[in-house]
Structure 1
């Protein structure tokens, strides 16, 4: 009798140990049946997860043209000459205008404005985008939020410094003059001047010709060297 009880006790202990050895992983409650077969959930600890690695040198940056490189060089010098603007102070970049008429601009100036903004952001300055309107417009042409309509733009932007600049077209290329101005007292805290040969901006300017139209007037000159470059897209 005692021998039978010993065998029974041993069987119970064995069953108990077997039960402990088959204790379900807490994740086992995610097991599910599919097509009559039990599909088990594999614990994340048992899954080899390849580490996500992004190599900027191997992947590369966005391709750039001459106007982008020009903007980067302009900003590099503005940062070098800066004597007051802190990176945490809001900075607004306005559209470059013609040195002869502060109410006139062109396609080259508009693109240069965008490039200057990106170049300043690369230096981790606190940029403010004036063209983001106060509301999103859903139209047939797409979802739009950028605007140049002053009625759609915020009127209480916390801006303390502005980058203003002028362009001047010559018979050899384009002159650029820019300065960062503290609008609380109009003090210039940084300035840069630059010249780019027209051939380096072939996608934006046209070389001088004997006959040109500017502001609706026709100009003719026998000496092409005395005529100036024109911006592609200028109103004729």
Structure 2
């Protein structure tokens, strides 16, 4: 009889210990695991009961997902990794929300805000922007596009812009119909210009530093100025039409 009672007591003791250890293990699984290293995130920290959304209760859970999920940007949006082909290289970045014209628009507003002597009766010519560390007779695709964008922006302010590269006839060819030319023999010797908008380009660690100014043709006085930094990813989005590339843009030397 005593032996039977001892066996029963032992069984009850083992059963109670198993229940206690089971409860402790369950509690450990539901409690978050905190890492000793504040910069190391443990994924088990964000595991919870089935069907529960821990990210709503713990903002750091959503941060962990954004930092460790491939293809998800810093704002939690899915990024497709858009590719931009640039012949010599493959430019990979997010889709651009600004282009060169957006920075020219800001510079044009700066020019108008500190402009002197110009009016809606003053004709202005616009030249390409020269590379600052050259003999000022070289430019690139960015220098071309800056001039084109400034023509648009100044015209919006009702400032008369003279395009001195236009000829007196339309050239019809197999490649297309053209009225613009860079051959000085096809252009007028003189243009009715009183002021000219010009500028320089300087490479910067973050992009291109653009210096724009309006000069008097006779006095050479600066009557307006502006400055802006165009990021590299905006400049590199300009794709040249041939293979003569220098840092992603085509060099053009003046004659």
Sort the TM-score into its range (normalised by shorter chain).
Answer: 0.5 to 0.7
Q: 2:236 touches 2:248 (CA, 8 Å); kept in 1?
A: no
- Counterpart in 2 of 1:76? 109
- Counterpart in 2 of 1:123? 157
Map 1:222-233 onto structure 2 (within 5 A).
Answer: 230-233=247-250
Q: 1:175 touches 1:195 (CA, 8 Å); kept in 2?
A: yes
C-alpha displacement at 1:195, in angstroms? 1.4
Q: 2:103 touches 2:228 (CA, 8 Å); kept in 1?
A: no
Q: Which secondary structure does the structure 2 equivalent of 1:175 belong to?
A: strand
- Counterpart in 2 of 1:193? 227
Q: Kindly report the root-mean-square deviation, in angstroms, between the aligned alpha carbons of the 2 structures.
A: 2.0
Q: 2:171 touches 2:179 (CA, 8 Å); kept in 1?
A: yes
Pairs aligned (count):
150
Q: Which secondary structure does the structure 2 equivalent of 1:68 belong to?
A: helix
C-alpha displacement at 1:65, in angstroms? 4.5
Unaligned runs of 5+ in 2: 1-96, 240-244
C-alpha displacement at 1:143, in angstroms? 1.7
Q: 1:138 touches 1:144 (CA, 8 Å); kept in 2?
A: yes
C-alpha displacement at 1:100, in angstroms? 1.2
C-alpha displacement at 1:204, in angstroms? 3.1
**What do the CA deviations read for 1:122-150 (whole angstroms, capped 9, x no partner)?**
10101100110122211111221110111
Q: 1:106 touches 1:231 (CA, 8 Å); kept in 2?
A: no
- Counterpart in 1 of 2:198? 164
**What do the CA deviations read for 1:141-164 (whole angstroms, capped 9, x no partner)?**
122111011111111211000001
- Counterpart in 2 of 1:149? 183
The structure richer in strand per residue is 1
Question: TM-score under structure 1 normalisation?
Answer: 0.59
Q: Which secondary structure does the structure 1 equivalent of 2:133 belong to?
A: coil
Unaligned runs of 5+ in 1: 1-63, 206-212, 215-229
Equivalent residue for 1:91, pick from 106, 124, 131 = 124
